[in-house]
């Protein structure tokens, strides 16, 4: 039976040895691992975030000695993914190398033009990776480009958290220090029906435009399982949108209550949905809802309409009021530097955020991701400045498109950010200068 080694190359943001601060389980790889194991294949995992340098990567890859290497990659890490593939080719020339993940789903040509990849899988990988490994093991000819088949989410086994270093890593929440540990991430659905111009149609290309949900009983069973094995104390539901279906939320509440589970958790919510879900949120709070991650994005209605967010500034304020009233913390996502945005509109955003008064801030500069409508706009209007895959970071460290003074924008953020964050920003600036 062939051995498969799955590789996570996600070190662009924080570098080698970054697992202590960036330790989320890669659910895409973890689900593929679970499916390969279910089908009788030996599957191992190499996470570059846990390696100290390229020599260490080399010895980890050699130690596992796979017949097939499966690398996943977002756009930002694609340069590293190529480097890993070239290294595998050099040290294990007989191994087959497969690239999958978001970047090649959106830009399959980038995978195909790099000869270091034997196969390119787009979309979801669970079913297609198993089929591919079976084909390789029987020497059956198979096309180099494979369009991933979406799996029935209830058919995929629970992920093997031990293999993904849950005990060493994901037992801490990197961004919310108030959450008790051990912490875990889980996924209960795939896809999002909304249409934000900075995100779509890319997101729909990954999940084929449909929202698919797991049976909520299986979700609660997984929570019980993690609690039993690891003593779970808090978790993040890592879906694009957990709040999409009222009946499902209430079934979740019913089952959590039935099992007497009240464990703090975080999930994503949209401002417009939150304004219509006060009774349901009250119930979710009873079974642990600790914080909502909300994409407020902008304090300018013109910008919200421009990015097709389908929310209003009023929704943003009302949703925050509801969260404060119910004692649910707010993780605020907001953005600056959207094409056509004025500095006046950025100040409107910051004034809105000041009024919202979130517990956690997640500011970003608009980043043009491939296959989104705003990416196309930037190309058509010659706004694009990125040269490397590593430029595609969501944060505020690097400049994104032409036409903005990013240092001035960092100044606006600094002016408005709470004191606790200013200390972090000053430390960061000093580190960069020294």
Q: Which C-beta is closer to ligand SF4: that of 16 or that of 175?
A: 175
- Interface with ligand SF4 in residues 226-245 (CB under 6 A): 240
Q: Are 186 and 226 in contact (CB under 8 A)?
A: yes
The Cα–Cα gap between 319 and 327 comes to: 12
Q: Which is nearer to ligand SF4, 188 or 200 (CB)?
A: 200
Q: How near is the Cβ of 223 to ligand SF4 at its closest, in Å?
A: 23
At closest approach, how far in Å is the CB of 160 from ligand SF4? 27
Q: Least distance to ligand SF4 from the beta carbon of 383, Å?
A: 20
Minimum distance from residue 194 beta carbon to ligand SF4 (Å): 4
The rounded distance, in Å, linking the Cα atoms of 27 and 35 is 12
In this structure, the number of other CB atoms found within 10 A of the CB of residue 430 comes to 9
- Considering the complex, state which of residue 119 and residue 377 has its C-beta at the smaller distance from ligand SF4: 377
Q: Which residues contact 61 (CB under 8 A, 6 or more apart)?
A: 5, 7, 46, 69, 84, 87, 88, 91, 92
Looking at beta carbons only, is 88 or 196 nearer to ligand SF4? 196
Residue of 11, 199, 244, 271 interacting with ligand SF4 (CB under 6 A): 199
In this complex, which beta carbon is closest to ligand SF4, that of residue 97 or of residue 241?
241
- Output the smallest distance, CB 394 to ligand SF4, in A: 12
Crossing angle for the helix pair 343-356 and 313-326, to the nearest 10 degrees: 20
Q: Candidates 14-22, 122-130, 192-200, 247-255 — which segment interacts with ligand SF4 by CB under 6 A?
A: 192-200
Q: Does 206 bind ligand SF4 (CB under 6 A)?
A: no
Judged by CB under 6 A, the residue of 194, 207, 265, 377 near ligand SF4 is 194
List the helix and strand counts (H, then E) for the chain.
17, 14
Q: Are 416 and 361 in contact (CB under 8 A)?
A: no
Residue with smaller CB distance to ligand SF4, 289 or 335: 335
Alpha-carbon span 386 to 389, nearest angstrom: 8
> Which residues have a Cβ under 8 Å from the Cβ of 215 and sit 6 or more positions away?
154
Instruction: Answer yes or no: are the C-beta atoms of 247 and 278 closer than 8 Å.
Output: no
Residue 207 binds ligand SF4, judged by CB under 6 A: no
With beta carbons less than 8 A apart as the criterion, state whether 253 and 283 touch: yes
- Which CB sits closer to ligand SF4, 67 or 203? 203
Structure letter (DSSP) for residue 264: -
Q: How many residues bind ligand SF4 (CB under 6 A)?
A: 10
Residue (128 or 200) nearer to ligand SF4, CB: 200
Whose Cβ is closer to ligand SF4: residue 131's or residue 212's? 212
| x-or-dash string of contact with ligand SF4, 252-271, rule CB under 6 A | ------------------x-
The CA distances from residue 102 to 66, 122, 125, 184, 391, in Å, are 23, 8, 11, 23, 16
203 binds ligand SF4 (CB under 6 A): yes
The whole-angstrom separation of Cα 268 and Cα 72 is 24
* Close Cβ partners of 44 (under 8 Å, ≥ 6 residues apart): 3, 4, 5, 6, 64, 66, 163
329: three-class secondary structure by DSSP: strand
Q: Say whether residue 196 binds ligand SF4 (CB under 6 A).
A: yes
Given the complex with ligand SF4, which of 61 and 106 has the nearer CB atom?
106
Q: Which window, 137-145, 198-206, 249-257, 369-377, contacts ligand SF4 (CB under 6 A)?
A: 198-206
* One of 48, 68, 192, 256 touching ligand SF4 (CB under 6 A): 192
* Beta carbons of 393 and 363 less than 8 angstroms apart: no
Is 296 one of the binding residues for ligand SF4 (CB under 6 A)?
Answer: no
Binding range to ligand SF4, per CB under 6 A, among 80-88, 139-147, 161-169, 190-198? 190-198
- Long-range CB contacts (< 8 A, 24+ apart) of 49-54? 49/8, 49/10, 49/11, 49/14, 49/16, 49/17, 49/18, 49/19, 49/22, 49/23, 50/17, 50/19, 50/165, 50/169, 51/16, 51/17, 52/16, 52/17, 53/16, 54/87
Binding site for ligand SF4 (CB under 6 A): 192, 194-196, 199-200, 203, 240, 270, 295
């Amino acid at each position: 039976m062939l051995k498969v080694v799955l590789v996570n190359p996600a070190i662009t943001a924080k570098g080698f040895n970054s697992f202590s601060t960036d330790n989320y389980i890669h659910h895409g790889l973890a689900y593929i691992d679970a499916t390969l194991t279910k089908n009788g294949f030996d599957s191992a995992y190499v996470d570059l975030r846990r390696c100290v340098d390229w020599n260490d990567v080399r010895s980890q890859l050699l130690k596992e000695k796979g017949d097939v290497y499966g690398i996943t990659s977002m756009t930002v890490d694609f340069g590293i993914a190529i480097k890993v593939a070239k290294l595998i080719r050099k040290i294990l020339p007989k191994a087959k190398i497969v690239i999958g993940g978001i970047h090649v789903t959106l830009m399959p040509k980038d995978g195909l033009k790099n000869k270091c990849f034997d196969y390119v899988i787009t979309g979801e990988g669970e079913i297609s990776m198993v089929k591919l490994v079976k084909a390789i093991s029987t020497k059956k000819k198979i096309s180099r480009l494979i369009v991933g088949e979406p799996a029935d989410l209830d058919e995929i086994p629970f992920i093997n958290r031990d293999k993904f270093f849950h005990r060493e890593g994901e037992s801490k929440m990197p961004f919310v220090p108030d959450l008790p540990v051990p912490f875990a991430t889980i996924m209960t659905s795939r896809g999002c029906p909304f249409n934000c111009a900075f995100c779509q149609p890319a997101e729909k290309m990954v999940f084929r435009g449909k929202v698919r949900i797991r049976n909520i009983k299986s979700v609660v069973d997984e929570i019980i399982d993690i609690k039993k094995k690891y003593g779970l104390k808090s978790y993040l539901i890592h879906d694009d949108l957990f709040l999409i279906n009222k009946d499902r939320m209430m079934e979740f509440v019913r089952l959590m209550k039935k099992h007497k589970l009240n464990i703090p958790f975080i999930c994503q919510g949209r401002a417009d949905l939150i304004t219509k879900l006060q009774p349901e949120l009250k119930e979710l709070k009873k079974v642990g809802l600790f914080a909502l991650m909300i994409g407020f994005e902008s304090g300018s209605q013109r910008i919200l309409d421009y990015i097709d967010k389908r929310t209003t500034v009023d929704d943003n304020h009302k949703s925050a009021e509801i969260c404060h009233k119910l004692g649910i913390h707010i993780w605020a996502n907001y953005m600056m530097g959207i094409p056509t945005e004025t500095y006046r509109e950025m100040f409107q955003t910051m004034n809105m955020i000041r009024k919202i008064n979130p517990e956690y801030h997640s500011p970003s500069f608009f980043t043009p991701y491939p296959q989104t409508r705003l990416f196309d706009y930037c190309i058509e209007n010659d706004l694009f400045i990125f040269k490397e895959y590593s430029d595609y970071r969501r944060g505020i460290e690097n400049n994104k498109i032409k036409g903005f003074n990013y240092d001035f924008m960092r100044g606006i953020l600094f002016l408005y950010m709470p004191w606790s964050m200013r200390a972090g920003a000053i430390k960061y600036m000093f580190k960069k200068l020294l």
